[in-house]
Amino acid sequence: MRTTKGWIFLTLAWILLCMPSISASGYSVAPDRDAKVQTYLEAITREPGNAENHYLLGVRLSDLARDEEAIAALSKAIVLKPDSAKAYLARGGAYRKQRQFDAAMADYDTVIKLEPDWAKPYAGRGALFSTQGKYELAMEEYARGIAINPDEAAIYRQRGLTYAKEGKYELAIADYTKSIELDPDYPYTYYNRGFVYAYLEQYDQAVADCGKFIELEPNDARGYDARGSVYFEQGQYVRAIADFAVAIELNPDNAEYYNDRGKAYALQAEYEQAIMDFTRAIAISPDYETAYINRGIIYDIQNQREMAILDFTKAIALNPYSVRAYNHRGGAYFGQEEYELAIADFTKAIEIRPDNLGAYRLRGMLYCNLEKYELAIDDYSKAIELDPNNAMLYIFRADVYETMGDKDAAAADRQKAEELDGK
């Protein structure tokens, strides 16, 4: 079945590559795998003066997060039909996602003037305030919209997003569910609710919502990547890899999808496949810090520490505040017995994030190896302060106390470790 699907996508890709970019009377939109985009482009070619076709194309492009192209298409629709409230509404949403806040507000205000009884522009204005972190103002706009039309699904959908941003996840789920009841065929509400379920570790519900999104939008790679990510969190790596593979087939130029699949391969101990995916992610996005770190980790596991250090160093060059990169490079230096370099990296990681438990623990080991026992005690003590119920930390510190000849302190730590193990 996968082979058949692969041939379908290869054939479609070849057709698209052979098609020119379609000019839509003043703006251009590249050919796309998405069937709806293709349908609207063909309609525009036949009837370039039909505002509805430009509007439908703009809405679809915005759904696909192609907002610059969406703005161009919707602007054309407005030129052709200046009183099209729905075109202003859709363009306002695209402007908002592009963080062009003044332009978005102007469009929403125009909608309200054209259609004062519409609730949707208040949903848009609420989302606009929410994007700026102005949650109280957002809630006021949602309330205005609900007062006009309590059955407008878009308001509950946008308010759900705002609740999620505020960390009010149960309220977010309630609003998403209400929105779905009012508009069960709008796919992106399932997508957003699925993310909240995943965050709450309600994975079965998250998988179900991602599945419904995929049912409604089978050619949107984001659904497969989202469901694959949930499977990943559940430890279902084979299923995760399968979903990431479909996401890659649908959107082979998305570096994140390769990185996600690489992580799943890594946890399956399929290290060469993982390296290939991380390398592909880097080829697509040369500044992808996370992919360098992930590839470096695999190189370290394979004892290719020079390669690992190169990747961690590149990640640090891209982000000098990457605690994860310093931690892992420190670990690689530790493995090469370059203790001073390792200590320098763990020290830097601690400077950036003082609650870095792992860095204190590993630096404590290094100090112990260098016979700097007082410094080792300090680091283990700090690690215990951060994680007082970790029995192994007491054992590590006990070993150092014993080496220093402080048998009472060593005995106290070992007793504490036994108490914690017995819980």
* Rounded average pLDDT per 10-residue block, the chain, 423 residues: 31 29 56 81 93 95 92 96 96 95 96 95 95 96 96 96 96 98 97 97 98 96 97 98 98 97 98 98 98 98 97 98 98 96 98 96 96 97 96 96 96 95 75
Q: Distance between CA 105 and CA 110 in Å, rounded?
A: 9
- pLDDT of amino acid 31: 60
Strand partners, 300: none
Distance CA 56, CA 36 (A): 9
Per-residue confidence (pLDDT) for residue 52, from 0 to 100: 96
Query: Contact 335/341 with Cβ under 8 angstroms?
Result: no
β-sheet bridge partners, residue 29? 22
Q: Residue 35: what pLDDT?
A: 85
**Cα-only R_g, the chain:** 27
Question: Which of 314, 313, 317 shows the shortest CA–CA distance to 333?
Answer: 313
Which amino acid is located at 233 in the chain? E
- For residue 29, give the 3-state DSSP assignment: strand
CATH 1.25.40.10 domain extents, the chain: 1-116, 355-423
pTM higher than 0.85, yes or no?
Answer: no
Q: What is d(CA 146, CA 128) in angstroms, rounded to the nearest whole number?
A: 17
Per-residue pLDDT, 292: 98
Please list the alpha-helical segments (H only) found in 149-251: 153-165, 169-182, 187-199, 203-216, 221-234, 237-250
Q: What is the pLDDT of residue 421?
A: 87
Considering only the top CATH level, what class is 1-116? mainly alpha
CB 259 within 8 A of CB 292: no
Note the CATH architecture for domain 355-423: Alpha Horseshoe (1.25)
The confidence score (pLDDT) of residue 15 equals 25
Tokens 């409604």 sit on residue: 216
pLDDT of residue 139: 97
- Report the distance separating Cα 321 and Cα 218, nearest Å: 39
